[in-house]
Amino acid sequence: MSTNADIGYDTVFAIKVGANFVDLAEVFEVTPPEVSVDQVEVTHFKSPNRSREYIPALSDNGTASASMNYVPNSSTDQTLDTLLTSGDVAEMRITYPNGVTVTFDAFVSGYSKSIPVADRMTAEVQFKVTGDVVLAAAAA
């Protein structure tokens, strides 16, 4: 049996700046948005077998994140700092190696940097997703 498994190499995380998507530079790990669904308890006096009952409520598309090599004052650093301080919502796109894309609107909810004495400098950015997440097949 063969597999369709792949490695993450060549994944791209991009942010729409103006009319164009701009790739975040030197990204080495991406976490796509993860959906969760709220629940509403609807238990009543006649719920079967004294069991609690629930119905699904609104979904929350959570957060997405990217870990990258940190290059102070690079265009990626400037873009993320600008989005963090402005609070602006921007369109984001993750493109997987097979061409499948995940697109969503989000704002920067955190941007942390690590500056060790004898290792590479890194940064992690957190994006709070607002609204829907769209998964699209690779362009033919």
Q: How confident is the model at residue 140 (pLDDT cuts 50, 70, 90)?
A: confident
**What is the model's pLDDT at position 1?**
79
Q: How confident is the model at residue 139 (pLDDT cuts 50, 70, 90)?
A: confident
Tell me yes or no: is domain 12-136 CATH 1.10.1740.10.
no
Q: Which two tokens stand for residue 58?
A: 């609104």
Residue-range domain boundaries for the chain: 12-136
- The DSSP 8-state label assigned to residue 83 in this structure reads H
With a threshold of 0.85, does the pTM exceed it?
Answer: yes
**CA distances (Å), 12 to each of 46, 74, 77, in order?**
53, 17, 16
Q: What is the CA radius of gyration of the chain?
A: 19
The region that residue 5 occupies, defined by phi over 0 for left and psi between -120 and 50 for alpha, beta otherwise, is beta
